[in-house]
A = this chain, B = another copy of it.
Amino acid sequence: MKTILLDFIAKYITLTEDEKNEIASLDIFRSVKKGTTLLKEGQKSKESYFILKGCIRTYYVVDSEEKTTAFYTEMEAFTPPCVINKTASEYYISCVEDSLITVSNADMELELNSRFPKFETMCRMLSEELLAKQRVDFDEFKTSSPEQRYLNLLQKRPDLIQRVPQHQLASYLGIKPQSLSRLRGRILEKIS
């Protein structure tokens, strides 16, 4: 189970056995139930997350309506903007499914970064990679219609369409649930 995290790290740097043991012995592994809220709007936080198993969602509440902006699943890591900016969170984080995650602390990372330059190298590489990936996602979103976005999602993350409620998917695609229903109907008609 803890090997999932070590496998992830191995994509960026090579750890000694001692270092692996140190990582594995950290008290960062958490099991969270579906529906659990990990962070609320207005709260301050220093926590970063890595998903071993399950699905985590971030959403804003605008005019008492949820606006889902991201889903994180297996082998994905993220740090909320409020942790980087040291501001109160503008969004909520909650569990879509029973999940197994790691929860690490900014202070802990700071210490690891200064103790192990290797660790900082990994953080830099990971941030650069995520920045590039998110840039491409953003560009694709901007340059395509809701229907294209849905078809794109169907290609790239088909699992999401199965494991996530439609109304959350809709807002993730930037539209209303009714529009997603209609749009799916339209696509089915085209095929037949």
| A residues adjacent to B (C-beta < 8 A) | 60, 62, 67, 69-70, 79-81, 83-85, 90-91, 113, 117, 120-121, 123-124, 127-139, 141-143, 171-172, 174
Query: In the complex, A91→B136 CA distance in Å?
Result: 10
Which B residues lie within 8 Å of A124 (CB)?
113, 120, 123-124, 127
SS of A interface (majority):
helix
Q: List 12 A-B contacts (CB under 8 A).
A: A67-B142, A67-B143, A84-B129, A84-B132, A85-B132, A117-B117, A120-B121, A124-B127, A127-B127, A134-B134, A142-B172, A142-B174
Residue A69 contacts which of B69, B80, B83, B138 (CB distance < 8 angstroms)? B138
A184 to B143, CA, bound (A): 21
Q: Which of B79, B130, B134, B171 contacts A138 (CB 8 A)?
A: B134
CB distance from A48 to the nearest CB of B (A): 10
Interchain CB contact under 8 A, B128 and A84: yes
In the assembly, what is the distance between CA of A69 and CA of B139, in Å? 6
Interface contact A136-B67, CB-CB below 8 Å: no
With the chains together, A91 CA to B113 CA distance in Å?
34
Alpha-carbon gap, A61 to B129, bound state (A): 24
Please tell me if the beta carbons of A141 and B143 are within 8 angstroms of each other in the complex: no
In the bound assembly, the distance between CA atoms of A1 and B162 in angstroms comes to 55
CA distance A155 to B129 in the complex (A): 30
Q: CB-CB < 8 A to A113: which residues of B?
A: 121, 124
Please pick, from B83, B84, B132, B142, the residue contacting A141 in the complex, using a CB distance under 8 A.
B142
A26 to chain B, nearest CB (A): 20
- Chain B residues contacting A142 (CB-CB under 8 Å) are 67, 69, 141, 172, 174
User: What chain B residues lie within 8 Å of A79 (beta carbons)?
Assistant: 128, 131-132
What B residues does A117 contact at CB under 8 A?
117, 120
